[in-house]
Chain A
Amino acid sequence: MFLSALACVNADRASPTCTGALPEDTEAPLRNRGVRAPESGSMLETRGETTEGVVGMQTVVDLTRCQGYAQCVFLAPEVFELHGEEGLLYATAVPDDQVERVRQAAAACPVQAILLGEEVGTGAR
């Protein structure tokens, strides 16, 4: 399974930056390492506290690339929302029960603008 990224944020046209690295190999080290801010909450309030020791998934949309096709809204309407005709808002912290849908949305994005992954594991320092 791949827990990190599905889409590459700066895959511009034939840009060489994105053709190489597969995200799958980045799974394990991120687990159990993240430091989350103490407060919790989310757009949907379904997430609550993250499971002990497991870092929740975060999403970010490269809205420079986004052209408002809204495929993500169709596929994960509880995470992505169209604001007006083509403005996109989304829950940055993805509720656990929505991760699969966001994964599908990231795969389906016609401009590959959605990145799903874990927050950086900064360790304790």
Chain B
Amino acid sequence: MPGDLKDGRMVIVGASLAGLRAAEALREEGFTGSLTVVGDEPHPPYDRPPLSKQVLLGQATADTTGLPTRRDPDADWRLGVRATGVDLLAKQVLLESGESLPYDRLLIATGTRARPWPNPEEATLDGVFTLRTREDAGGLARRLAAGPERVLVIGGGFTGSEIASACRERGLEVTVAERGPAPLVGALGGTLGKLAAAMQRNHGVDLRTGVTVTALRGNGSFTGAELSDGSRVEADVCVVALGAVRNVEWLAESGLAAGPRGIACDAGCRAFNMYGIVTDDVFVAGDVSRFPHPLFGYQMLSLEHWGNAVEQAGVAAHNMLNPGPLQRPHLTVPSFWSTQFGLNIKSVGVPTYSDHVIIAQGSLEARRLAMVYGYQGRVTAAVTVDMAKSLDYYRHLIETAAPFPPPPGAQDRAIAADIPIPSDVPDPKGLSHGPTVAVTGYLPDRRLTLVQPG
């Protein structure tokens, strides 16, 4: 690539949302060289959020969620091929076929996979699913369409809750088992966790909190599970929704700062090596990345957010084509959404990075509210339930590090808007589900074990 950053050989490992958007952005920004995209799934990039919604509801089949392109990235697609390593010195990506792909600049966007049920034998029982891929969703949707007696969902995070919601909408009996005190509590804290629990129960979910599933039973086919409280759930379908595992194993020998919480990179998406030295030809984007954010004390964030994958892919592509002074930082405020039990939940900022919350507008009773999260006297996050049009205002408060509680005077203001209550974010260790946004250095109230790279 001597001299000309717009030319040369680009390799993107990961052919999902971040990989696709980065490939498009490279071309949009004038890259004229060769572009190769490697993906271990056999499909062109497809969209995952509909898999737990439209697909499980039976409104779309799993193979129809292919992502539209903004433009043809004119890439060489290596699909169904696993990357097995990177040689940073020789600047080559190694493929399972034994082939190696030379690169001038590399983007890693390998994302995450579903955390499997820890007992491999039980996990292979017929009727036990995880939900991450097109095949997962297709199989689960077919099983739901066949009308099972009961579905057991292990884990009350966003994915688990959306699955339970889809089951109820299809009229299926469903049990949700969650180790923590409530669904969604790991991502949204105690108050909204209580709302989520009430919504599940009102919609007929058999919600079991404070329990773990100790064993899956069945002889070939799943027939039920045993819980830590001694009870047993008879069910014929089980969905393991225990969060995500980052796809970093292939980088174990690479010398990159890759660990269970992702691959560490700087604000410009440039990967760190295992000594904490930034590389200048390896970039990271999407769920597999871990990056510092100035709004959250420059701590490293790990996000599992659709919007982050899109934004970060754009920044990474820009920076792959531009010299240092023209590079851009990835500063987008984290945001995500979930639709479940007829409610639209949207979040900006990092709700777990908080000590107190207030209901700034609306009310729990109305099932329509804006909740603002604060940490040490400034606004760090906001979550709306069916009040998305207010979210931009609260995003602005986060971006400007506005004082918490936020200024008074909002219309539709809750009576208790002046009284902050503890945000009540539990230690993730005590949950079946994790937050989809995690501050991976420190949490405000406790020190976490630092994750060693490699």
Contact = CB atoms under 8 A, between A and B. Distances in A.
Say if A and B assemble together.
Answer: yes
A122 to B, nearest CB: 4
A122 B79 contact: yes
A67 B43 CA distance: 31
A52 interface: no
Interface in B1-45: 20-21, 25, 28, 43-45
A89 B339 contact: yes
Contact of A63 (B63, B69, B306): B306
Contact of B71 (A26, A43, A92): A26
B307 A64 contact: yes
Interface string A87-113: 111111100000000000000000000
Contacts of A25: 71
B149 interface: no
B314 interface: yes
Contacts of B70: 4-5, 8-9, 21, 23, 26, 115, 117
B54 interface: yes
A53 interface: no
Most B C-beta atoms less than 10 A away, residue of A23, A36, A43, A83: A83
**Chain B binding surface, main DSSP class:** mixed
Interface in B49-107: 49-50, 53-54, 57, 59-61, 63-74, 76-79
B59 A89 contact: yes
B311 A85 contact: no
A87 B68 contact: no
Interface in A51-92: 57-60, 62-69, 83-92
A60 B309 CA distance: 14
B339 A83 contact: yes
B339 A29 contact: no
Contacts of A8: 70
B50 A17 contact: no
A85 B69 contact: no
Given A67-B388, A87-B342, A119 B68 contact: yes
A30 B69 contact: yes
A5 B74 contact: no
A5 B71 CA distance: 7
Given A23-B71, A120-B73, A37 B389 contact: no
B115 interface: no
Contacts of B343: 84, 87
Contact of A4 (B69, B79, B335): B69
Contacts of B69: 4-5, 26, 30, 117-120
B61 A41 contact: yes
A47 to B, nearest CB: 9
B256 to A, nearest CB: 26
A62 B344 contact: no
A90 B44 CA distance: 20
A68 B389 CA distance: 7
B54 A58 contact: no
A119 B67 contact: yes
A91 B54 contact: yes
Contacts of A65: 307
B99 to A, nearest CB: 12
Nearest to B317: A17
A10 B72 CA distance: 17
A92 B76 contact: no
A121 B43 CA distance: 11
Contacts of A58: 66-68
Interface string B381-403: 00000101101100000000000
A92 B72 contact: no
A34 B72 CA distance: 11
B344 A85 contact: yes
Nearest to A94: B68
B342 A84 contact: yes
Contacts of B306: 62-64
Interface in B248-305: 305
Contact of B339 (A59, A87, A92): A87
A12 B20 CA distance: 19
Contacts of B65: 92-93
Contacts of B57: 89
B45 A120 contact: yes
Nearest to A63: B337
Interface of A: 4-5, 8-10, 12, 17, 20-21, 23, 25-26, 29-30, 34-37, 39-43, 57-60, 62-69, 83-93, 115-123, 125
26 contacts: A4-B69, A4-B72, A5-B71, A8-B70, A17-B28, A29-B74, A35-B44, A58-B68, A60-B47, A62-B306, A64-B307, A66-B337, A83-B342, A84-B339, A86-B386, A86-B388, A87-B339, A87-B343, A89-B339, A91-B60, A92-B50, A93-B66, A117-B69, A117-B70, A122-B77, A123-B77
The 3 A-B pairs at the shortest CB distance, nearest first, are namely A117-B68, A64-B307, A87-B339
